[in-house]
Amino acid sequence: MKRFLVIALGVLLVFTLLVGCSSKKEIILSTTTSTQDSGLLDFLIPKFTKDTGIEVKVIAVGTGKALQMGKDGEADVLLVHAKASEEEFVNEGHGLERKDVMYNDFILVGPEEDPLKLKESSPNDILLGLKTIAQNQFRFVSRGDDSGTHKKELEIWKRASIEPEGDWYISAGSGMADVLKIANEKKGYTITDRATYLSLRTTLDLDVIIEKDENLFNQYGIIPVNPDKNDKINSAGAKAFMGWILSEKGQKLISEFGVEEFGMPLFVPNAK
């Protein structure tokens, strides 16, 4: 009986060690819907796993939710796009550090017929464009989900000195792909990241209406979660992912994504 118990305990110990080792070969990446919906992660992650042997479990949510997951110790590393909130996250001790990874831009898209003729009156002026939408109380679909895109949208409304409210302002509480579909169905305007729009444009009757305004700059950052959160945080794996995506190889891959299909990169690498 004693020998049986020793063997059983030995098997249990080996099993526990194997589980522990395998768990260190996986990280949880909490990120935005735009990096997922654009196809960027499907392009990058297999290459990261091939190089490192580390599997990546992706949880695509709004930036606000992604940051909360980090605070709750439910993710190992974050790839998000709300710089002020990211810096606050690190300053509060939830993350080890924050680094720029890449950028693209936001655009205002709307019905092909552009009912308010914003493309003519304000093609590069998002503040004037939003003022026109609000004055005419024309349908505008908001993410309404505390994502990086939603935060940026609210910031732009504030700069335009407008607090959007009323039946014309539709708060979807959804990811970017769903919001684009809603705007398409309702023939309304919305603010989107360019990458998600380009990846879905063949399924939409929406055109780029306003672009290339400095207020529409969209920076992405990466943050390894503080391992002091709990003993399940894979800090080594998170740092490996951060190092890889900021490396010359990772940055080159980002610069290539989208070029073949769209004739332009969907994200511009800018790691320092």
Q: What share of the chain is helix, strand, coil (3-state, %, to 5)?
A: 50, 20, 30
Q: What is the pTM of this model?
A: 0.80
Every domain of the chain with CATH number 3.40.190.10 lies at 2-103+219-269, 105-217
**CA–CA dist 165, 57 (Å, integer):** 38
Classify domain 105-217 by CATH number: 3.40.190.10
Q: What is the mean pLDDT of residues 91-101?
A: 98
- Residue length of the chain: 272
Contacts of 132 (CB under 8 A, 6+ apart): 116, 118, 121, 122
**CA–CA dist 29, 57 (Å, integer):** 6
**CA–CA dist 262, 270 (Å, integer):** 20
Angle between helices 40-52 and 235-246 (to 10 degrees): 110
CATH of 2-103+219-269, one of 3.30.70.2740, 3.20.20.70, 3.40.190.10, 3.60.110.10: 3.40.190.10
In the predicted model, is pLDDT for residue 199 greater than 70?
yes
- Confidence band for 23, pLDDT divided at 50, 70 and 90: very low
In the predicted model, is pLDDT for residue 261 greater than 60?
yes
CA angle, 249 then 252 then 255, to 5°? 155
pLDDT, the chain, mean: 91
Q: What is the pLDDT of residue 121?
A: 97
Structure confidence by residue, pLDDT tens digits, 105-140:
999 999 999 999 999 999 999 999 999 999 999 999
